[in-house]
Amino acid sequence: MRNVLVAAERPVSQLIEDAAGVAQEMGSGSFRELVKVRGRIECPKPLTAELSHTPCVSYRYSVTREYEEVLWERDKEGRSVRRVHRKSEVVASNEARTTFWLDDGTGKILVHPERAKLDLVKSHSSFQPFHTGPSSFSVGSFVLNLGSAPGGTLGYRYEEECLPLDQEVTVVAEAGDGGGELGLRSPEAVDQPFLVTRNLQEVIRRDRLSVAILKGMSVGLAVVAVFIFLLGVVR
pLDDT score for 25 = 92
Q: Write out residues in the chain with pLDDT < 70, as ranges.
A: 1-2, 132-135, 147-150, 204, 206-235
Say if residues 4 and 195 touch (Cβ distance below 8 Å): yes
- CA pair distance 82, 88, nearest whole angstrom: 20
Say if residues 185 and 162 touch (Cβ distance below 8 Å): no
pLDDT in tens, 171-220: 999 999 988 899 999 998 888 899 999 988 887 675 554 434 445 455 45
pLDDT score for 70 = 85
What is the DSSP secondary-structure string of 41-79? EE-SS-EE-TTT--EEEEEEEEEEEEEEEEEEEE-TTS-
pLDDT score for 235 = 60
pLDDT score for 96 = 97
- CA pair distance 199, 8, nearest whole angstrom: 17
User: What one-character DSSP code corresponds to residue 179?
Assistant: G
pLDDT score for 189 = 87
pLDDT score for 226 = 54
pLDDT score for 211 = 39
The 10 Å CB-count burial string (b at 16+, else e) for 119-149 is: bbeebbeeeeebeeeeeebebbebebebeeb
Say if residues 56 and 100 touch (Cβ distance below 8 Å): no
pLDDT score for 214 = 42
